Amino acid sequence: MNWTDYANLAQKSLTYFFAADDQQFLNNFYPTDSPEDNQVFNYWWLAHTVDVRLDAFLRTKDDAYLALAEATYAYNKNRNGGTLRHDFYDDMLWNALCAFRLYKVTGKTVYLEDAIFVWQDLVDTAWNDIMGGGFAWKRPQMDYKNTPVNVPFIILSTWLYQELEEQKYLDWALKTYDWQRKVLVRADGFVEDGINRMGDSKIDTNWTFTYNQGVYIGANLGLYRITGEACYLERAKQTADISLELLVSEGVFKDEGEGGDEGLFKGIFYRYLEDLYQLTKEPRYMTFMKESCEILVAHAEKEGHLLMGMDWLKPADSKVPFSAELSGMMALEMVAKSEK
């Protein structure tokens, strides 16, 4: 099969393995063999489900994928009380980003309004001077600042600025970017996860996640597209290169944890690495994506579909979170884009 075929199969596989009743939309795990499996409402996983369905629509122009994206978004927002407001600011931002993408595809202003609502809520409630600035991770813990909030906020700000041309979006993007670089980006371009999680002003240097590198690449690309300043593109490349040097083992990113959320991290990196590839056409980025995806699919075949687990070097474990399936889908969709 070619990469388009694999991406199509991955789209079918998400439904095949994880489809649930209307109340749950998607099961959190495959197999689902305990009532506890679906107790958690994984709000931010569903935002990425919207994204992968949009990826398929943009690639195929099949309206069925767009309908799935909109249905997923509606389910997620309705289950969250009819709003994108949430205690976790990073989860809100992922829903804002997929809302903005839906707006760009459909032209429906409700999606743009949702994205703006999230942006404004963070500006109004999440920024404070603890740790020298930065946005808090969640409402109950305003003194903990991390990359998973601050950098997606930069991405959203650059998108809104490009769409609406209102200076406040660029101003806040640059303000947040300056704090992020000063506090959580190393000299070699590697991005740390957060600071002051334990109230001790320390940086979590042991949390070396692909997620953080991916979004920082995306933030730099957003600022590069607006300003044209080469430093942003160079910083994106520096972070991509150090990530491939430090986080890859046997041709793939290492398994990053067992909690479920970590299953999404690799796919986020692929999304923004592909964007960097489109701007630079650096062969090493596409070579890595294709060769790692070859390893992924070699271990993922199950019942004529693809079941993609946390560790791409072996078949999926006996219990797989759909977050991990989404990562594989994102990776395959990004590689399939290269065939167009």
State the chain's mean pLDDT as an integer: 96
Over residues 252-261, mean pLDDT: 89
Residue 158 has pLDDT above 70, yes or no: yes
Cα–Cα dist 166/169, whole Å: 6
For 169, the enclosing helix (H) or strand (E) is helix 167-184
Per-residue pLDDT, 339? 77
Cα–Cα dist 58/53, whole Å: 9
Cα–Cα dist 24/39, whole Å: 9
Q: Label residue 22 by pLDDT band (50, 70, 90).
A: low
Per-residue pLDDT, 259? 75
The encoded tokens of residue 263 equal 């299953």
User: How far, CA to CA in Å, does 276 sit from each of 24, 77, 176, 280, 334?
Assistant: 35, 31, 21, 6, 11
pLDDT digits 0-9 by tens, 326-339: 999 999 999 999 87
* Residues of the chain above pLDDT 70, percent: 99
Lowest mean pLDDT among 30-39, 42-51, 213-222: 30-39
Over residues 271-288, mean pLDDT: 97
pTM across the whole model:
0.98
Over residues 33-47, mean pLDDT: 93
Over residues 240-250, mean pLDDT: 98
Cα–Cα dist 147/184, whole Å: 7
pLDDT digits 0-9 by tens, 119-140: 999 999 999 999 999 999 999 9
Q: Label residue 217 by pLDDT band (50, 70, 90).
A: very high
Per-residue pLDDT, 257? 85
pLDDT digits 0-9 by tens, 173-185: 999 999 999 999 9
Per-residue pLDDT, 184? 98
- Eight-class DSSP state of 191: B
* Residues of the chain above pLDDT 90, percent: 94
252 phi/psi in degrees, rounded to 5: -135, 165
DSSP 135-153: BEEETTEEEEEEHHHHHHH
Q: Label residue 24 by pLDDT band (50, 70, 90).
A: confident
DSSP 289-326: HHHHHHHHHHHHEETTEE---S-TTSPPPSSEEHHHHH
By three-state DSSP, how is residue 21 classified? coil
| CA-closest candidate to residue 8, choices 339, 338, 336 | 336
Q: Label residue 35 by pLDDT band (50, 70, 90).
A: confident
The encoded tokens of residue 153 equal 């906020």
